[in-house]
Chains A and B, each alone.
Chain A
Amino acid sequence: MELKEKFISSFLAVDDYLNEGSLVHDIRSEAIKNFEATGFPTKKSEAWKYTSLKALLRDDLSIFPKQEATVEFRDVRKYFLHDLDTYKIVFVDGQYSAFLSTTTHEGMDVCLLSSALTKDKYKAVIENYFNQVAPQHGLNALNTAFAKEGAYIYIPKHKEVDKPIEILYFYTGAESALMLQPRNLIVVEENAQVQIIERHQSLSEHAVLTNAVTEIFVNQRAQVDYYKIQNDQAQASLIDSTYVKQERDSVCSVHTFSFGGQLTRNNLNFYQHGEHAMSIMKGITLIEGKQHVDHNTLVHHIAPNCESHQDYKGVYDDRSTGVFNGKIFVEKEAQKLNAFQQNNNILISDKATINSKPQLEIFADDVKCSHGCTIGQLDEDALFYMRARGINEKEARGLLMYAFANNVLESVKIPELKKRINRIIALKMGVKIGFDL
């Protein structure tokens, strides 16, 4: 049976399992109909021109894990920011792991979406926010129909969360091939602040395809810093669709570090509904082999006096392929806007490719919009300069690439995370970066 049919026919069978006492039964039924109508995206659609899911959407993908798996903390410790105290919401093969998690309900909610979807006390928030910003077609609709678990984070007014929140999804490989549908809902109320780190990590060499959907609501004057670490196994693929709705005077930054995995598609969408909203999107892509990373960004400027900054850097080796498709859409009302987009790429191998395409649609007349894209090789003169000072070629290359990506790291606000990312970069480049980070 084709995968699409398999999902549709399984929906009824799992309906009870998913919807036991759920507040969102109707939303799910609607979603499966949408999925049935739209299906999986194909290369025929403009937004998926350079990224094909065909090879990943295998008919033998399991829709649910058949058995419950457990993992030992010592085996996964390295995937946590273990040198830092954090809240943790952890899932193993799509199931919540109470044992690995550190949740809280004290002055805020850092817990499971499954309980938020079934308990009355969350009803108001769910009704106001769940599925309110992610458009419902294709993969999103599939996620909405099947999502059972994910992170639920609710930060009330004026709350400054005392430590970062880590959201981790582990995949054990108990199944030979699995498709996961994690779903996160994050609501940050007026003047509240939170830092979140999300990671999907496969623990085996079995194929896994994660179709994650995250909705983030950043209300007036709230501040959200979101970090995505994509450094998965070579057999793991991720489609990450993140939707951020911002109200006035809010600031939201999303950093995406794409180092691993087979195929990674990031759909990152910002909607600025209030004046003086600020959206920051940064990314470092560092891939090799046959890896593929696709950044598809959208900033939808609806209110006036807003700002958006995009800065994506990519280093591509071997036959790896990259895509950057950055769309800035400016409504007529969104005057006095400042939108900046930058995408710089280095191709280390002549077999690597990058498709970079800015898309500006501007209907307001008083705006500042700039975009730039560069594709180049490592600067040979700089390499010679460094080598002539005694720095070995390998280190020199590493240092140059590090320097190239460095300014994206500067805005990372969690020092332990910054160190971690630095270490991953150094490791990937096979260099000991000879200075303090």
Chain B
Amino acid sequence: MLDIQNLHAGVDDKNILKGISLKVNAGEIHAIMGPNGAGKSTFASILAGKEEFQVTQGTMMFEGEDLSELSPEERAHKGVFLSFQYPVEIPGVTVTNFIKTAINQTRKAQGLEDMPAGEMLKQIKQVSEMLDIDRKFLSRSLNEGFSGGEKKRNEIFQMAMLAPKLAILDETDSGLDIDALRIVASGVNKLRSDQNAVIVITHYQRLLDHIVPDFVHVLMDGKIVKSGTKELAYELEEKGYDWIKEALK
């Protein structure tokens, strides 16, 4: 599904990603861990199409298409979804109106008619119940004044509504309380199938108890320096990153 080869990218003169290669197949869950400032969010943003970063080398193929040829919205239309580490506040646009617009624009790009209002309402109701989101919440301005946890839950709400092929969750667990973490994780699990894939960026092994990864990668200083299975996450939780740094020397 996703095939990244030797990706180098940065902003202005600063190199942030220094040769990332990663293959994600449909049905897989990949976890990316790594110290602060390693380039995890940069990687996620580049996959979603943030124009601020320049790709200087390498390729990003998604379902046989070169992602770098596509605008952020085109990537979304093809099924790439990024749950932001820091979701943006958009005053004046309610959660409901935002998601309606996002869904109908995606449908339009796919040559479909707008989703009938009744169907839309039904889905909104189902998903918000699944994620234990209060209805009142949906008529508030998007992310405006939301608590950290509410913002993250709202990202997963949107993900569930958009049902992407590739979901990239950038620290979706930070800021969630223990119950919320469980609810959000079970939401993600419900959406899983052998047709879609998930990349989970996290600092904590705890999330991976709920969303169990097939692979764990360590991203350090713009490179994937170690890959393994879910046991690697336990090891990192226990020992931190220094031993990897040492081993690299």
Contact = CB atoms under 8 A, between A and B. Distances in A.
A386 B89 CA distance: 11
A399 B101 contact: yes
B82 A388 contact: yes
B90 A389 contact: no
Residue of B81, B97, B109 with most partner-chain A CB within 10 A: B97
A400 B92 CA distance: 8
Nearest to A407: B92
Given A384-B50, A389-B158, A434 B92 contact: no
B100 A386 contact: no
Contacts of A392: 73, 105
A436 B77 CA distance: 23
A249 to B, nearest CB: 32
A396 B75 CA distance: 15
Main secondary structure on B side of the interface with A:
helix
B87 interface: yes
B213 interface: no
Task: Please indicate which of the listed interface residues A384, A385, A402, A406 has the most CB atoms of chain B within 10 Å of its own CB.
Answer: A385
Interface residues of A, number: 26
B126 interface: no
A436 B97 CA distance: 8
Interface in B122-138: none
Among A382, A385, A388, A402, max chain B CB count under 10 A is at A388
A390 to B, nearest CB: 4
Given A382-B90, A399-B93, A435-B101, A393 B71 contact: yes
A434 B100 contact: yes
A423 interface: no
Contact of B92 (A387, A390, A402, A436): A402
A381 interface: yes
B111 to A, nearest CB: 14
Contacts of A406: 92
A61 to B, nearest CB: 42
Interface in A129-167: none
A434 B97 contact: yes
Chain A CB count within 10 A is highest, among B81, B82, B87, B93, for B93
B49 interface: yes
Nearest to A400: B90
Interface in A348-405: 379-382, 384-393, 395-396, 399-400, 402-404
A391 B105 contact: yes
Given A390-B106, A403-B141, 20 more contacts: A380-B52, A382-B90, A384-B72, A385-B84, A385-B88, A386-B98, A387-B72, A388-B48, A388-B72, A388-B75, A388-B82, A389-B76, A389-B102, A390-B109, A390-B162, A393-B71, A403-B91, A403-B93, A407-B92, A434-B104
Q: Which 9 A-B pairs have the closest CB atoms?
A: A403-B92, A390-B76, A435-B97, A387-B72, A434-B101, A406-B92, A390-B106, A385-B88, A389-B102
Interface of B: 45, 48-52, 71-73, 75-77, 81-82, 84, 87-93, 96-98, 100-106, 109, 141, 158, 162
